[in-house]
Amino acid sequence: MKQYKYIYNFTLVILLVLISNTKLYAQWFLGNFNWSASLGYNSSLFHGDFTERANSIVYYTPFSKYFYEDRKSGIGFNLEKSIGPYFGVRGNLLYTKLKGSKGSINQYFDAKLFEYSLVATMNFTNIFWGIDRYRPVVFYGFVGLGMTESRTWKYDATSEKLIGTNGFGKPKVAGGKYVPMSETVMPIGLGLKVVINPNFGFYGEIALHPINTDKLDATVSNIAFWDGFGAITLGMDYYFSPSRFSSFKRHSPSYNIRSYTSINTRKYSRKSKQIFKGGKRRFKYRRK
């Protein structure tokens, strides 16, 4: 586990450095549209003790029938801030179901997992092909740190009898809910964005979510020291900037109708008097 702690610490330092420099390029990069909100659908596949043919490369490709077995669906929401032409920071929320089965022991499990993480994004398109804020296609990578909360139910495949659980810790208060298992996670992956107009776009991602536990499948192994899942995500982006909304309100007549009316009244009234004072001199005139 020590090697993973070093990776966690290194990633955390990178995230903190990026967050501390959020104002460096924010007003320059992509103009006013330096924020994005994303909603996506994901297909998740468990990796761990309950993974058949885990050592087969073919198993992990879409050309294998095993690639589609034991897949479960989920949904995710991201809020991202671009902090320069090369980097960004985003917060992730993810909910997914997981399933794993192993015919050799005639068992399978079902799990429900919630993940929240802070992720650093890297714009590979700008890094390798030059900066272009109007590029319609963006290839990027991401890595981050987060936490997961999960519950697992393990069954006998023949009798469908419940034979094990995980994530049902002792309630913090008498009569309270069982406490789910909480563990750290380090999401890492690649993505592709396609911008269709200044406000909307589509994206696709492939990612691994290694979790710092061997109990996600309710089975402890002496071989594996972590469980996790892979996810394929398709979704939609909405690009925006909070400053645009506040700027619109400040300059909108409806935002300050009183001052707007008084300005036009002074401008078009021929009977109004205007007095200007400047230093020791005083000027007075009447509109004709």
CATH class of 2-244: mainly beta
What pLDDT does residue 50 have? 80
Q: Identify the band that residue 69 occupies on the pLDDT scale cut at 50, 70 and 90.
A: confident
What pLDDT does residue 200 have? 94
Q: Identify the band that residue 32 occupies on the pLDDT scale cut at 50, 70 and 90.
A: low
CB of 14 within 8 A of CB of 120?
yes
The amino acid at residue 185 is: V
Q: What is the CA radius of gyration of the chain?
A: 28
What pLDDT does residue 61 have? 66
Q: Is the pLDDT of residue 155 over 50?
A: yes
Instruction: Tell me how far apart the alpha carbons of residues 217 and 213 are, in angstroms, rounded to a whole number.
Output: 10
Best-predicted range by mean pLDDT (49-58, 109-118, 177-186): 109-118
Instruction: Tell me how far apart the alpha carbons of residues 84 and 29 are, in angstroms, rounded to a whole number.
Output: 6
Kindly state the average pLDDT of the residues 229-245. 86
Whole-model pTM?
A: 0.73
Helix H or strand E segment including 121: strand 107-123
List C-alpha distances in Å: 269 to 116, 262, 266, 273: 60, 10, 6, 9
> Where in the chain are the domains?
2-244
Residues forming a β-bridge with 123:
140
What pLDDT does residue 53 have? 62
More confident residue, 31 or 26: 31
Average pLDDT of the chain, as a whole number: 77
CB of 275 within 8 A of CB of 282?
yes
Kindly state the average pLDDT of the residues 230-237. 96
- DSSP letter assigned to residue 170: P
